[in-house]
Amino acid sequence: MVTGTAQTYRLTSLVAAFDHPRGRSFVVQTYPRQIVDLYDQATMLPRWISATTPAQRALALATAIDGDADLDARLHVDLDEDVLQIVDAAAGHPDAGADGLLGASTAAAWHPDAAAHAAGTHRTITPQCVDAVPSWLHAELVDDAPPLVVGTAYTLAVFFASESGSAAADETWLPFPEGQDTLDVRVRVMSADFDVPADPQRLQIGRDGCSTARALFDIRPRERRRDDGTQAPHGLSVLVDVRGNFLQRLDLTFDRAEVPDLESYGRRPAAAAMLDERSVAIQLKPSEGGYELLAPQVCSDPIELRLTEEELCARIRKVRKVLLQAVKRPPIAFQLDIPPADGDALLRDLAFAGFRLFQAVFSGPEASSDLKRVRDWLCTRLEQDATTLQVVSTAFPVPWPLMYAVRRFDAEPLSWDNFIGMRHIVEQIPLAQLADLPAAPTIDSTPELGVRTLYDDGIDHAMPSRPVAAQRAYWGSRKVALVEGRTVDELVTQGLSSSATDKVLYLYCHAEASAVDPDDSKLIFSGSTSVSLGQLSVYAPTDDVLQSHPLVFINACESAQLTPEFYDGFVPYFLAKGARGVIGTECKTPGLFASEWAKAFFDELFAGRSVGRSVLTLRRRFLAEHNNPLGLLYGVHCDTDTVIAPALASAA
């Protein structure tokens, strides 16, 4: 069956196409939907991830096809000879060979670099030049200005222009890859106060920063009254994305004034043009009585999430408490291999806490039918493999990888696969206005890759495995431009200086969190010297942007229990400083595991694998090889398609 399937679908060509430098975006733009579905299923199979030859990857594709009768049938029916020729030509293999697998001549022509071969991936990624074009996002009523009349139809125009001229407009930067003259974005309007169209519209923008047309939305104010009977303000949100990736958001509030109030949010726009498509994306922000949730794929109206900050933090703390109790046990704290009994106990307790967190957010006592629809939609989408969940939020510090996403907890046997982070890539992006232009998600390793490490040497005094010494040895074996530090002064005056050239900032240290004031949360380095978030904000202010846009990894091991407020303070700080992303732990982490995880992560990243794929691969690998699920402790607060290119040579 495998051989026949390989012959039918030209697996040789598909293997080459799936390893294209642009990854999924190339597949989406080149092939029909069924090939995209095959890519999504096959590239997350353990068999594909661990493959080291094209033939092994071809067998992984055959496994994906054979295991999905519906996909197999669609491929048989839909792929006529013309499409197969497109597959072959686009992949660069006009003749796949008699058996459908890579033959001797094809295999001899394949020359992966050593790092990519060791990591089980053969992608060679070339940094892409991106031009940042300044522009303004406008949203204005075509009709007369407020006050609005309930039930009256108005037209809202949304467009991009090279300068501000509207009452509601915000400056932005648009990413144009080299050689590309236009950029397509998708615009939609969402509101609980207006009747708005459910469907989005597309805008095409030129290199002058102007859209060729306007997106026009028919909106109609709904009845809204204050307690005293007077007309209440009306609000709506304008959302802009690039292939499902959040780019910008304008929140407009229309009162009796002629000029609407404006709140603007954005993400790092220079990354958006090169990110893979996102099909599972939600946005969350605080609102009166709880939070506002936007899930455009499910509901055209904002959804009210009636959950207080105290209730949310209680559920988050419960998850972290289970983790903290687990990592304190000697079999988990001092060795990589977790005994089966300890692993089963951790699964039982963490699954319950993770489900209660998922349940509190999406199906609490006051959950609406729309919110439960979002829950069911998420469960359905997350039952599939190879999904990237994009969460854009503010003041909602939920550890999404640790959510146990099932409709009913008692409906099926416990499994690590039901944790979102064990099956999927989770991309957490702060909903904030970041005014400074950051770098694209490709970290250029030429002419050299600058890495700055800072340690707390005291960790080795307490741990027989001496993880700090092990990491020093690791970094010494990597071909990077390494700068090592131990003190707060080195971090503040050098690592966080606007003139720093580091592209990776790695902190292996203690950390303490404050549940009272995030400003009091601190990082602790050698000699028990510490620096608080408040001090960093004063002595290394966000106005001094890091021009090298480093990837920041806070490996906070053997620390006090971290709280929801810890990363809700440090993540926005580092991103506002210009960091391209932050990776950090959710709670106290065993020093040995933290050290081994970090070394494995950087091996994956330096080999050319993306941040998101590296994290997911390692979670699965440590679970499979060591019965160790602690990779779920690491949260990714950045574009998960971030890569280092060209790939670096393997460590000695």
- What token pair was written down for 321? 């408490």
Q: Which two tokens stand for residue 422?
A: 């064990």
Q: Give the residues across from 584 on adjacent strands.
A: 554, 635
CATH 2.60.40.10 residue ranges in the chain? 130-275
Position with higher pLDDT, 269 vs 566: 566
Cα distance between residue 500 and residue 121, in whole Å? 31
Residue 478 has pLDDT above 80, yes or no: yes
Residues 570 and 637 sit within 8 Å (Cβ to Cβ): no
Tell me which CATH homologous superfamily contains domain 130-275: Immunoglobulins (2.60.40.10)
Lowest mean pLDDT of 26-40, 248-262, 366-380, 520-534, name the range: 26-40
Instruction: Tell whether the model's pLDDT for residue 401 goes beyond 70.
Output: yes
- In the block, residue with structure tokens 């580092």: 574
**How big is the chain by its Cα radius of gyration, in Å?**
25
What are the φ/ψ torsions at residue 216 (nearest 5 degrees)?
Answer: -110, 125
Strands (E), 142-257: 154-161, 169-177, 182-190, 194-195, 201-206, 215-221, 234-242, 245-254
With cut-offs at 50, 70 and 90, classify the pLDDT of residue 107. Answer: very low
Q: What is the dihedral of CA 462, 463, 468, 474, to 10 degrees?
A: 170
Domain boundaries for CATH 3.40.50 within the chain: 442-645
Average pLDDT, the chain: 79
Count Cβ atoms below 10 Å from residue 431 Cβ, excluding itself.
18
Cα–Cα nearest to 290, from 305, 302, 301, 303: 305
CB 52 within 8 A of CB 110: no
The more confidently predicted of residues 433 and 321 is 321
Separation between Cα atoms, residue 252 and residue 410, nearest integer Å: 43
Q: Are 548 and 500 in contact (CB under 8 A)?
A: yes
Q: In this structure, what token pair is assigned to residue 402?
A: 């640790």
**Which SS3 state, helix, strand or coil, does residue 205 take?**
strand
Average the pLDDT over each of 174-178, 563-567, 572-576, 606-610 and give the range with the smallest value. 563-567
**Mean of the pLDDT values across residues 363-376?**
92
Instruction: Tell me the three state secondary structure of residue 443.
Output: strand
Please indicate whether residue 480 or residue 120 has the higher confidence score (pLDDT).
Answer: 480
- C-alpha 385/C-alpha 381 separation (Å) is 9
Average pLDDT value for residue range 482-501: 92
Which of 221-235, 441-455, 510-524 has maximum average pLDDT?
A: 441-455
Looking up tokens 């009845």 gives: 223
Q: At what angle do helices 2-9 and 11-18 cross, to 10 degrees?
A: 70
Q: 133-147, 559-573, 609-623, 631-645 — which one is most confidently predicted on average?
A: 609-623
Percent of the chain with pLDDT over 70: 77
Question: Above 50 in pLDDT, residue 125?
Answer: no
Local structure of residue 419 (DSSP, 8 states): B
Q: Is pLDDT larger for residue 275 or for residue 627?
A: 627
DSSP-assigned letter for residue 493 = I
φ, ψ of residue 58 to 5 degrees: the values are -60, -40
| b/e per residue 457-472 (b: at least 16 CB within 10 A) | ebbbeebebbbbebbb
pLDDT at 552 over 80: yes
Q: What is the pLDDT of residue 76?
A: 52
Structure-token pair, residue 450: 């600058």
Least confident of 262-271, 524-533, 557-566: 557-566
In this model, does residue 80 exceed pLDDT 80? Answer: no
Q: Looking at residue 221, what is its pLDDT?
A: 92
Residue 477 has pLDDT above 70, yes or no: yes
**Bigger pLDDT: 44 or 604?**
604
The reply to whether the predicted model has a pTM over 0.85 is no
Closest to 521 (Cα-Cα) out of 555, 482, 560:
560
Task: List pLDDT tens digits, range 336-352.
Answer: 999 999 999 999 999 99
Task: Indicate if the pLDDT at residue 316 is higher than 60.
Answer: yes
Would the pLDDT of 44 be above 70? no
Handedness of CA 162, 165, 170, 171 (dihedral sign): positive
* 43: confidence class by pLDDT, cuts 50, 70, 90: low
d(CA 554, CA 454): 10
Position 547 pLDDT exceeds 80: yes
* Cα Dmax for the chain: 81
Q: Is the peptide bond before 629 cis (omega within 30 degrees of 0)?
A: no
> CATH top-level class for 442-645?
alpha beta
Q: 51 versus 261: which is more confidently predicted?
A: 261
Measured between alpha carbons, how far is residue 143 from residues 146, 152, 170, 410 in Å?
9, 11, 21, 55
Q: What angle, rounded to 10 degrees, do the helices at 54-66 and 69-78 form?
A: 100
pLDDT single digits (tens) 416-468: 999 999 999 998 888 876 544 445 678 999 999 999 999 988 888 877 788 88
